[in-house]
Structure 1
Amino acid sequence: MMPLGCLSELARRQRRWPGHAIDAMRVGLQCLTRTTDSLRFSYSYATSCADVPEVLPSETPLSDMLVDSFGRFHNYLRISLTERCNLRCQYCMPAEGVELTPNTELLSHDEIIRVAGLFVTSGVDKIRLTGGEPTVRKDIEDICLHLSGLKGLKTLAMTTNGLVLSKKLPKLKECGVNALNISLDTLVPAKFEFMTRRKGHSKVIESIDAAIELGYKSVKINCVVMRGMNDDEICDFVEMTRYKPVNVRFIEFMPFDGNVWNVKKLVPYAEMMDKVRQRFKGLERLQDHPSETAKNFKIDGHAGTISFITSMTEHFCAGCNRLRLLADGNLKVCLFGPSEVSLREPIRAGVDDAGLREIISTAVKRKKDKHAGMFDIAKTANRPMIHIGG
């Protein structure tokens, strides 16, 4: 007989998704597993993060493949197309670079489209292409064209350093890319060269302007804030939004292998907000979607907006709806978690779509309720950001 708690879980899922087929045996196994795992997690996964409330999916999932054991529905997939990059940003990789995965062990064009199709038919409606630097992949336009043609996909976004984007953007827009995040950590050309170990500041600015001119309504500028490096430019970036219809996103410095993270380099959200409030009046908080990673604000009289991504000091794990497919075909269910599962190996072993769905579902169900907190993350082995994807 199924335990009472598991029966309650079954009833709760049936109320949540009326008319959706619920596998009672799977629910029972998940419930029992969660019960036995909870004691282990209480010791091995202690964190200062707040308790995670239940997050209901905004729409009825097409299947339970993308629903984890905490009720989070993952309708957002980030796909890393390459580990290669034409910059060497200090927070992304060590100075000596990283060892790249051989091309034969990276997902091919057809493998990317196949896996993406499985996710979209299961409920993913947003895909973001990352890297490395996605624009250095030679078949980027063709990949975008095929992905944008997937029925059910609403948003095809790209995160890029903007170095060559201005030349490629008209074609990428034709191929279906409808949202952009452009990384820019400084407005000072000399500092840009120091932080990225390469030249090209003017090209990034050119790409931002090109995106605006092409009519992109969602142009986000990602700025990783580091103490002693660019924290003196926060208000300069805010000033950029006075005339440019962009969303500047200030990102707390996060620890990854090889980026020499130190809490002293972290500029917390509260401190950044204080700087903005002292300089700008009429700051108003916008309504955030439950799955939003950023705290969003507008300033009276400004064409653009500003946001803060507070991964370290105020996590947003409760609303997480994101999964990551790495360039080598590994699925990563949490940016800060070391656990990965290969999809490339079963694909090349001939596993059919049903088998791949089961592998994905099992990985999603194992996702933890929240990350371990910045100090534990800093001590946990994880890949460099260049391998994971921006």
Structure 2
Amino acid sequence: MAAASGRVARGLVARYLHAPRALTFHQAQARARHVATAAAVRNSHVQASQVPVPVPAPVPISGLSGPPLPPPITEQPPLPGLGSAVALPSRKHRLRDAKPFSAFLTDSFSRQHDYLRISVTERCNLRCLYCMPEEGIPLSPNRELLTTPEIVLLSSLFVAQGVTKIRLTGGEPTVRRDIVPLMQQIGALRAHGLRELCLTTNGLSLHRKLDAMVEAGLTGVNMSLDTLDPWQFQLMTRRNGFSAVRKSIDRILEMNRAGAGIKLKINCVVMRGLNDREILPFVEMTRDEDIEVRFIEYMPFDGNKWSEGKMFSYQEMLDVIRAKYAGLEREAGHRNDTSKTFHVPGFAGRIGFITSMTHNFCGTCNRLRITSDGNLKVCLFGNAEVSLRDILRKVNSGEPIDEEALEVMKQVALGKANLITPAGEPAPLLAANSNELLEVIGMAVKNKKEKHAGIGELEHMKNRPMILIGVSTNWCFLVISTHYIPK
């Protein structure tokens, strides 16, 4: 094994040493169309020409061989006159409102996809009725799953193109042994444009790792919890563990009271005749705590025995809640929100509804998904996928990229260019064939359809079981054409 790994590493070195010379830092700057703007002038009598400061757009710099990556398409204000006083927005507002973005992640409906969901494992320590077939699923061999370096390389590529939010899902992500080191490496991308690093989990073991995850950069947790009854929990998940989940919730609330600022959402899949009587107790969870409980319409996936009769619709849920809380108020939402958000006046938290079946939100979807075996799945309900893993591994002779191979890539990149970003940070390492990856990603996104097929077709569509998609009771909708699946 060690000898084979060494041969792969030596082959990788040879390929890079004989490759064309990499770009210099200044060439990379020019190719990436860095737009220099005047610095913010806080006093109106100070001239912008006296304090010029470059403000670069996100730049996909790899320091490796081959042509430079196409830069993100940016929307920048015109350069102000050098002799005029300029009052620019604060850094906080500039970061919030800036819209530098990549053409590769923009579809034909002008939807920009800045949210990436990555399934880091197929394994799970629960067997939820709506997620895992009762007979279980065949797990992929380890060789077919993305390695930690591969996840980090793909994350870096997407962040370089404008992704600002990454969510790690499963399976159950906390069963991955190196989940904390993985989060540390992805969290480091905050220096390059990543703003949110989130986790979707069942919460069974989260309380044991939460402190380290927050230290690594965790900003939000979506907790899957479909019942507040321990016996019902065992029935729905086919496992014990209710007390452990509550312990994780309590730990998040405790940390937030100390100022951690973790966004906590509870995801509840409502199924007729099973847990629809627990809607009001879930609403009560938001009375004293800053929690958002999101009720999710039951959806069809392979092996979960979905039927329209089991689905408890958004309107039915809303009627149940309004019968008890007549003053329920709708909140204004963001255009990319997946849920319709409400609050009971006087309550500390909120409730939301993910209405994928009766009122889909495909029209404003900004999400992409990578499965644990490295497939880009741009629609939760689409059954077409394209492998990013196979393209990525071309730089390593088709072998999985392990830590040793990644270290070789780093050393070669440093030896060729030693690039740093204009902010003084080391540039994130990208694969040598990132252009090829971007072409495939771009074609998939461009072929995204306006919306998913609807209940009638989804019920009969052949798709992965939910556990193999990395859904974890949180949803996105995009479709790609099978024309772009490599043969």
TM-score range, shorter chain: 0.7 to 0.9
Match 1:241 to one of 269, 286, 300: 286
Where 2:341 maps in the other structure, the secondary structure is strand
CA deviation profile, 1:348-369 (whole Å, cap 9, x unmatched): 1227111111111111111111
Q: Kindly indicate whether residue 199 of structure 2 is the aligned counterpart of residue 158 of structure 1.
A: yes
Spell out, residue by residue over 1:214-256, the C-alpha distance to the aligned partner (whole angstroms, 9 max, x if none).
1144100000000001000000100111122110000000101
Partner SS state of residue 174, structure 2: helix
Identify the match of residue 119 of structure 1 among 141, 158, 173.
Answer: 158
Is the aligned partner of 1:192 residue 2:255? no
1:182 matched to 2:263:
no
User: Which amino acid counterpart does residue 71 of structure 1 have in structure 2?
Assistant: S
1:309 matched to which residue of 2?
354
Cα distance in 2 for partners of 1:302, 1:206 equals: 22
Matched, 1:87 2:132: no
Question: How far, CA to CA, are the matches of 2:297 and 2:454 in structure 1?
Answer: 13
Identity %: 54
TM-score (norm 2): 0.68
Name the Cα RMSD after superposition.
Answer: 1.4
1:359 aligns with 2:440: yes
Corresponding residue SS for 2:247 = helix
- Looking at structure 2, the residues matched to 110 and 91 of structure 1 have their Cα atoms a distance apart, in angstroms, of 32
Q: Which has the larger radius of gyration?
A: 2
Query: Is the 1:281–1:300 contact (alpha carbons within 8 Å) kept by the matching residues of 2?
Result: no
Q: Paired residue for 1:333? A: 378
Deviations, residues 296-350 of structure 1 (Å, cap 9, x unaligned) = 0111111111000000000000100000010000000111111110001111122
Matches within 5 A, 1:41-56: none
Q: State the one-letter code of the partner of 2:377.
A: K
For residues 264 and 325 of structure 1, the distance between their equivalents in structure 2, rounded to whole angstroms, comes to 31
**Matching residue of 2:94:** none
| 2:216 counterpart letter in structure 1 | C
Matched, 1:253 2:298: yes
Name 1:266's counterpart in structure 2.
311
Q: Give the CA deviation at 1:19.
A: 6.6
**Which of 144, 149, 153 matches 1:105?**
144
Aligned length: 338
State the TM-score, normalizing by the size of structure 1: 0.85
**Please, which of 230, 239, 243 is the counterpart of residue 275 of structure 2?**
230
* Pairwise CA distance, 1:62: 2.8
Cα deviations across residues 39-70 of structure 1 (Å, max 9, x unaligned)? xxxxxxxxxxxxxxxxxxx7534320100111
Residues 182 and 219 of structure 1 are in contact (CA less than 8 Å); yes or no, is this contact kept in structure 2?
Answer: yes
Aligned residue for 2:459, secondary structure, equals helix
> In the alignment, what sits opposite 2:342?
297
Q: Which residue number in structure 1 is paired with residue 212 of structure 2?
A: 171
How far apart, in 2, do the equivalents of 1:223 and 1:306 lie? 11
| Letter paired with 1:362 | M
**8 A Cα contact 1:227 1:267, kept in partner:** yes
Q: 1:169 to 1:17 in 2, by over 3 A?
A: closer
Distance 1:19 1:298, change over 3 A: closer
SS in 2 for 1:303: coil
Paired letter, 2:164 = D
By how many angstroms is 1:281 displaced?
Answer: 3.2
Q: Which of 103, 113, 117 is the equivalent residue of 1:78?
A: 117
